Amino acid sequence: MRVLLVEDHKEVVEVVTRALVKDEHRVLAARSLDEADAAIATSTFDAIVLDLGLPDGSGLAWCKRVRGEGLATPILVLTAQSAVATRVSGLDSGADDFLPKPFAVAELRARVRALGRRAPNHTMRPFMSRDVQLDFSARRALVGGLEVPLTAREWKIVEMLTSRAGRVVRRSEILEAFWGDRAESSEASHEVLVGRIRKKLGLAFIRTVRGEGYATD
């Protein structure tokens, strides 16, 4: 994969680059948000690893802006702040995953590999329900004929639900798919994701099955 690393600390850049190269990823380092803007304007990436504190601004503000501009590349945020409020704010800004500092190199590599697996499922057929139309190969979501942008994580949940339409997807499955052994501490983040999808695709798109999980019809 081609990975954009947005990080201004030389030591972190070296550690992350060395780790990702072991998995045969190609890494381009941007040491400021301006450099990151220039990179995404001229190249395409399969994943972005983003630090929150950059010399020319907030990583979360940048994330929110590029999502608003239509960038769908999965984003992994590196942060020294592990509070739930920070993760919720990040998910609302369009981040797909978080990795607290200091981090284990093995976990960093695993999370970047996981981002790569969140590409759209090209074998899934288009899905229609009420006024919602989903084209998984083109990664386009239409509501009432108008296009609605979804993040990589939102697409993943939508794919999990629509691939099993009419059946329940347990909350534990969603938590495990995204947060692994941190699932228990990620309830708030998971609820934010479901809430965001409902806001974009309509409250009726995801049905809560009390005590079990979620379903779509």
Question: pTM of the full predicted structure?
Answer: 0.58
Give residue-wise pLDDT tens across range 143-176. 999 999 888 778 878 888 888 888 898 888 777 7
If you average pLDDT over residues 108-121, what whole number do you get? 77
205, 134: one domain? yes
pLDDT at 8 over 80: yes
> Where residue 134 sits, what CATH number does that domain have?
1.10.10.10
CA distance 217 to 215: 7
143, 72: one domain? no
pLDDT at 119 over 60: no
- Structure confidence at residue 201 as a pLDDT band (50, 70, 90): very high
21, 103: one domain? yes
